[in-house]
């Protein structure tokens, strides 16, 4: 792999890791996020018994 390859790989992975880390840091550190934050599969559709 040449220098450009290393640069593109490290920059791509670095950007994605930084973005993910930022999001998780906000999730873990911001007070009250659990009350208001949801993932699609975590959302209750309230129709299980119908």
Partner 1 sequence: MVVNGGTTPRPLTAAGRRENWTTRLGVILAVAGSAVGLGNFLRFPGNAAMNGGGIFMIPYFISLLLLGIPICWMEWTMGRYGGSRGFNSAPGIFSVMWRNPISKYFGALALIVPVGIYMYYVYIEAWCLAYAWDYLSGAMARYPADVEAYKEHFAGFVGTDHNGFLLRSTGGLQESVLFLIIVFIINFVLIYRGLTRGIEVFCKFAMPVLMLFAGVVLVRVLTLGTPDPARPEANVPNALGFMWTPTIPVRHAWEQTAGPELQGFRPAGETAEVRIPEGLAVPQELVFEAVSRGGLKSVRQVFRVQVSAGGAGAAAGDRGVIAARPGQAVRLAVDPASLDAIRAQPLWTGLADAQLWLAAAGQIFFTLSVGFGIILNYASYLRRNDDVVLSGLTASSTNEFCEVCLGGLITIPAAFLFLTAADLTPAVLQSGFKLGFVALPAVFARMPAGDLFGAVWFFMLFVAAITSSLSMLQPAIAFLEEGFGMGRRLSVTCLGMLTAIGSLLVVYFSKDLIALSVMDFWIGTVCIFLLAMVQSIVVGWLFGIERVKEECRRGAAMSVPGFVWFLMKYVTPTYLLIVFVCWCYSNIPAEIAGIRAMNAGDRGTVLLMLAFIGVLLVFFGLLVNLAAARWRAMGRLPAGDDSGPPVADPEARR
Q: Using CB under 8 A as the criterion, which residues of the chain lie in contact with partner 1 when the complex forms? A: 1-2, 4-9, 11-13, 15-17, 19-20, 22-24, 26-28, 30-50
To partner 1, the closest distance from the beta carbon of 37 in angstroms equals 5
Q: How far is the CB of 29 from partner 1 (least distance, A)?
A: 10
Nearest alpha carbon to residue 38 among 49, 29, 25, 27? 27
CB of 49 to partner 1, least distance (A): 7
Q: Please state, in angstroms and rounded to a whole number, the distance separating the CA atoms of residues 17 and 13.
A: 6
d(CA 20, CA 32): 19
């Amino acid at each position: 792999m040449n220098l450009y390859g290393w640069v593109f790989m490290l920059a791509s992975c670095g950007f994605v890791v930084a973005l993910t880390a930022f999001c998780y840091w906000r999730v873990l550190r911001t007070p009250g996020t659990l009350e208001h934050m949801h993932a699609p599969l975590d959302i209750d559709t309230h129709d299980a018994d119908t």
